Structure 1
Amino acid sequence: MASVKRCNSELKTLELPKKVKLKTLGQQLLNSRGHINNLPILLSFITPNTPPHYALESLLSLQSFFIPLLPQLPSSTPHSKQSNPGPETVYRTWLRSKFDQLVNSLIDVAVSTSQSQDALREVVLDAIMEFVKVGNAGKFHSAIYHKLLHALVHSDLGVDEILLDLLATKYFNYIDVRYFTYISLEKMARTVDGKEDKSRSPDVEDKSQLPSMELSILKMHNLLSHIPPLEASEEKLDHEMWNGLGIFIGKSNSKEHVNLEAKQAKSHKSNEKVLSSRNVAKKMKSKFTKAWIAFLSLPLPLDVYKEVLVMLHQTVIPHLSSPIMICDFLIRSYDIGGVVSVMALNSLYILMTQHGLEYPNFYNKLYGLLEPSIFIAKHRAKFFQLLDSCLKSPLLPAYLAAAFCKKLSRLALCVPPSGSLVIFAIVHNLLQRHPSINCLVHQERGAGTTRETSAGDNDNSENAKDTSASRDLSDDKPGIDHFKNEESDPKDSNALRSSLWEIDTLRHHYCPPVSRFVLSLENDLSVRARTAEIAVKDFSSGSYATVFNNEIRRRVKQVPLAFYKETPTSLFSEFPGWTFQFNDEDHQEASAKKQRIV
């Protein structure tokens, strides 16, 4: 109504003769069938190039004319054609064709890029949704709604944000609108790759005029992300629907949609046969799943790909009818590497821990993600928390836990101080959970295993002989680290033959929090009693700024002071040269010269 008032205010600037003519044509059309020829004239003003005040005046008249007639009009695609149709049938068929023309014109105005149509856009969308509500013999007209969404997805960039906001705020709260939105998005996802879409408007024939596929995928993602989550629909016992007759009604009511007024009078009887909330939620979940599965099968652009991975574990996986269906998508994402693998780790971990997904190469891929760039990535906080959770199981073999300890310790030498802190927290937790790798704390010469084996594997004699024969003689020399940092397979990294000398090196780190953390770690390990694990989330999102802010807020108990009984005369006491010659008279003379120069 607010949009109608805004547009009515613009009507004051109309040329009076033309305004009176349009209003007169509309009144004549509403009062008498004899003025039916006014209908094409009014339709000619519903175009993107028509001034908004003219289009609004015509739309108000046409909407008032068609709404009462829609339940009586034939289908857009009649199943059978009569050989000798009567005059009334011909008249209603002609009206139906004009109504279809009106709908196409309204959709063109809604997705028009003309800024002059912004004031009219909300009124046009309301009119289209009103036709959707009762356009199919009083039932929800899904074809018109699909045509609207199709035009929205294939429109120019910029228009979708306005219509999406209007749809989300006014219509996505209705469960039947969401239901048909999922159906339409599934259809478009299967045809957006360039195949022919039978539901596409016949006016759009040149595919070269359509936007790129990447832009269409971006708009489909915007539509999916604007739809409210399913929790609200599952908790409500009385679902609010845009169409009063509803789509979740038993089959016994399917033949009762004869007259809209009669049906509204019997609405209290039909409410008794509406499906239960559990069945409605089940149907919604099925359509939600099909829409997302079809969308994820598209070649997503990189920016959309990242946005999907970020939201997948919160807004998609909990509402899928079978979350395991997206395992292929997540495994492909996890195999890409880099930041994409980091973003896919969260959802993949949920499938593994909560839905029984088996992924044998999971830890090998996770081991490969440990690179210096991960410590400055945007989503590093969640990654480190998941890394700590993935290494929490006591069933991990010793070689795997040792490999992660060594890899993280080696990274601590080249990452920022905030990264060193989170590494110490994870290493501390690993040493507490897996006592079998405590040998890494102080590895004596020759005490390490000669060859790492996985849990449950037995070395046969031939492999043992080959290994001993190929062993380098320098392995027995002191100061040799047997850990292979460049090895991608944790089993072949020789981590159990090494030690955590990197942690000991960082006792003298230039950043005080790092050196203090190393000392606390040594104290915890020196006490054989089991200590509490460190919360990785307290360090996972750290940076130079957080380390500095925490340090300046820290209460210092001891301050380093330099006290001299006599004023020093040289920079280094043991170096006789470069002495300081300080004279008060020379200093005063230099100051006076400086003032004169200024």
Structure 2
Amino acid sequence: MAPVKKEKAATIAGVKRKREVTADGKTKSRSKSRTKSSDDAADPQETILHLEAQIVESRRHYNNIATLLQLARQHDTHNEKAVLASVSLCRVFSRLLAAGDMVKSKGMPEAEVVIVQWLKERYREYLDLLLDQYLRSEAPATQSVALTLLMRLVKEESKGQKEYNWKHGHLSRLVEILLHLPGEGGVTDEFAEKYFKPYDDIRFYTFQCIADVLDDDEPETSRQQVSSNSLSLLMSLDQVPKTADDIQNFFTEPAAQAKSPIPSLSAYKKRAQEAWLATLRGGFNKEQRKTILAGFSHQIAPWFQQPEMLMDFLTDSYDMGGGTSLLALSGLYYLMTEKNLDYPSFYIKLYSLLDDGLLHSKHRSRFFRLLDTFMSSTHLPAALVASFIKRLSRLALNAPPAGIVVVVPWIYNMFKRHPACTFMMHREICDPDLKEKLEEEGMDDPFDMDEPDPMFTGAMESSLWEIETLQSHYHPSVSTLAGIISEQFTKRSYNLEDFLDHSYNALLESELHRELKKDPVIEFEIPKHILTAEDSGLNNLGRLMTQVLEAQ
């Protein structure tokens, strides 16, 4: 056995040492051929460009398309050739589409039909490669290349056509894959910025795809991912077309005599409405819901031809409480004022948000901005306005200084806007007997803090003793500001924005650094006795301490 092994080894060695014979009879080592092949590998771009040039030069080299496809499939190995080959194939198929070499015509010879069919099959393979492998890749750069190439082919497919074939074109598959991609941002945001936002036709087709995908029966986890990506796309739109003249920026390039890719403004908005409704039914987390509600009035509702269809979403959002409820009421207010929606319980729901935690909340500034908008009408009933004034006055008793300095100017503005409520500040008692009785015995506050309907709280029969109490507040800014209720109403309404962003630290800093016009008068005397009086016996504190000790 040993000699046989040695002979085989020698044979193999001989094969390794074998030299090639050239045409002139000289020998050439294979190591040089390997060097040449390594040089070719070192410059893949030149090789790919050579294959592409041959395809363009003659139809005899169409088989180079299959070679380029084979190179493009190697993208998982991070091979530079794969990306270069995919870009080269895009140029090749763009030329073929532009020249009409991939379209069968009447009277075409059978041989030509076979070639066209073969090119179509290779084109489908190329699209499948970009959609199923490149676009789904974990590498953002590969995804970006795939998106750019696919959208260029969409443009090439549409050239000279009467209408882009949305149902059978690859744009619908592209959007569907983008909606299913995990994570946030990345290639989905790139699609939104480069194609979805600028071009009306891409937006129109994408609306349809969103509705179709979300209407399909999918697992809950997949549906949530699609809804999240759909929301990201839809919220990227910051403008809504108002007239047909606003729809004129198209990505596809149909024939000159072809009709517009978008039939009409109403059809455009109908597609958007269907996409939004499908997205809203998909389910969101709390932060996503707040994002939707924050952009409701200018990004969502203008797309709807029937905005009352959003009522269920807004009422469900209100039931979540906190800042979400406030944003939901903002959406309802928009529908009431802009779309003539009838919602009689709006102010009852708004009144219910005035709870103990309101003036301590981080959403306090946002709440008062919206509250000032909701209460801006001078046609609101005086009893309703009085209830809001009284309830906020009561809440101010336990509020931090930063919250009180917002409440007092807001109340002042409400009195300026609704003079009928000024009886809460100063009401003269004409009956002398009743006046004497009130001075001797006082009275119970008729305001019912537990009444949910602001029309029946009895606030109009009450007074703002809470604000007068705040005139003795420990913080000088609060006590000074509360004093405006006792003065004549000759000042103009306050600008509420000047008070919304105050904090306790800001108030303290402004007080510490305030320039004094004159030094304050200070009177301080060190007591000589704590529990006893000057002459003899116990003082008030001493007698109180004695009572405590005896009680024990």
So what's the TM-score if we normalise by structure 2? 0.75
Shift of 1:367: 0.4
Q: Is contact 2:201–2:250 with CA below 8 Å preserved after alignment?
A: yes
Q: For the structure 1 residues 243 and 370, does the alpha-carbon distance in structure 2 shift closer, same or farther, using more than 3 Å as the test?
A: same
Say if 2:125 is the partner of 1:101. yes
Assess if the C-alpha contact under 8 Å between 2:425 and 2:485 holds in 1.
no
Tell me how far apart the structure 2 counterparts of residues 27 and 46 of structure 1 sit (CA, whole Å). Answer: 17
1:265-276 paired onto structure 2 within 5 Å: none
Q: Distance in 2 between matches of 1:233 and 1:57?
A: 44
CA deviation string 1:344-400 (max 9, x = no partner)? 222221221222111011111000011233334454334213322323334333332
Matched, 1:372 2:356: yes
Q: By how many angstroms is 1:523 displaced?
A: 0.6
Q: Report deviation, 1:224.
A: 1.4
Corresponding residue to 1:114 among 138, 154, 166: 138
Cα 1:557–1:317 shift into 2, 3 Å: farther
- Secondary structure at the counterpart of residue 135 of structure 1: helix
The Cα shift of 1:241 comes to 2.4
TM-aligned CA distance change 1:429 to 1:104, over 3 Å: same
In the aligned structure 2, how far is the partner of 1:379 from the partner of 1:362? 20
The DSSP-based 3-state class of the residue aligned with 2:76 is coil
Q: Deviations over 1:329-352 (max 9, x none)?
A: 323323443211111222221221
In the alignment, structure 1 residue 434 sits paired with structure 2 residue 418: yes
Name 2:13's counterpart in structure 1.
Answer: none
- Summarize the Cα distance change of 1:502–1:106 in structure 2 as closer, same or farther, 3 Å threshold: same
Note the C-alpha offset of 1:313: 1.6
Q: Where does residue 85 of structure 2 map in the other structure?
A: 58
In the alignment, is residue 173 of structure 1 matched against residue 133 of structure 2?
Answer: no
Q: 1:123 and 1:351, CA in 2 relative to 1: closer, same or farther beyond 3 A?
A: same
For 1:171-250, what aligned pairs fall within 5 Å after superposition?
Answer: 172-191=197-216, 194-195=217-218, 212-227=222-237, 229-230=239-240, 239-245=248-254
One-letter code aligned to 1:45: L
CA contact (8 A) 1:178 1:227 kept: no
Q: Does 1:360 align with 2:344?
A: yes
Alignment partner of 1:575 is 2:539: no
Matched, 1:405 2:405: no
- Contact between 1:67 and 1:131, CA under 8 Å: does it hold in 2? yes
Q: 1:549 to 1:327 in 2, by over 3 A?
A: farther
The number of aligned residues is 478
* Residue 573 (structure 1) shift: 4.8
Cα deviation digits, residues 498-550 of structure 1 (max 9, x gap): 322211111111221111111112213xx5xx753333333233322443454
Equivalent of residue 482 in structure 1, options 405, 425, 446: 446
Give the Cα–Cα distance (whole angstroms) in 1 for the partners of residues 40 and 265 of structure 2.
Answer: 50
1:173, CA displacement in angstroms?
1.9
Q: Secondary structure at the match of 2:149?
A: helix
Aligned to 1:199: none
Q: Are 1:127 and 2:149 matched, yes or no?
A: yes
Instruction: Note if 1:513 corresponds to 2:477.
Output: yes
Q: In structure 2, do the counterparts of structure 1 residues 298 and 167 end up closer, same or farther at CA, with 3 Å as the change threshold? A: closer
TM-score, normalised by the number of residues in structure 1: 0.69
SS in 2 for 1:372: coil
Per-residue displacement from partner, 1:129-161 (whole Å, max 9, x unpaired)?
111112257444533122112111111215x42
- Please give the per-residue CA displacement for 1:440-493, whole angstroms capped at 9, x wherever unaligned: 22568999xxxxxxxxxxxxxxxxxxxxxxxxxxxx963533333233222443
Output the CA distance in 2 between the equivalents of 1:333 and 1:129. Answer: 38
Residues 517 and 20 (structure 1 numbering): CA distance in 2 closer, same or farther, change over 3 Å?
closer
Contact 2:359/2:395 (<8 A) preserved: no
1:479–1:403: structure 2 CA closer, same or farther, 3 Å change rule? same
- Cα separation, 2, equivalents of 1:96 and 1:446: 97
Greater mean deviation of Cα atoms: 149-158 or 379-388: 379-388
Among residues 185, 189, 192, which one is paired with 1:164 in the alignment? Answer: 189
Which residue identity does 1:359 align to in structure 2? Y
For residues 141 and 102 of structure 1, do their structure 2 counterparts lie closer, same or farther at Cα, with a shift above 3 Å needed? Answer: farther
Letter in 1 for 2:339: H
- Residue type matched to 1:185 in 2? I
Unaligned runs of 5+ in 1: 1-11, 76-81, 196-206, 255-272, 448-475, 578-598
TM-aligned CA distance change 1:321 to 1:110, over 3 Å: farther
CA change 1:481–1:113 in 2 (3 A) is: farther
In 1, distance between residues paired with 2:366 and 2:451? 25
- Note the residue ranges of structure 2 that are not aligned, 5 or more in a row: 1-37, 432-439, 533-552
Q: Which residue, out of 82, 94, 114, partners 1:67?
A: 94
Note the alpha carbon deviations across 1:406-436, whole angstroms, 9 max, x for none.
2111110122212112211222233333344
Question: Bigger CA drift: 511-520 or 542-551?
Answer: 542-551
SS in structure 2 opposite 1:42? helix
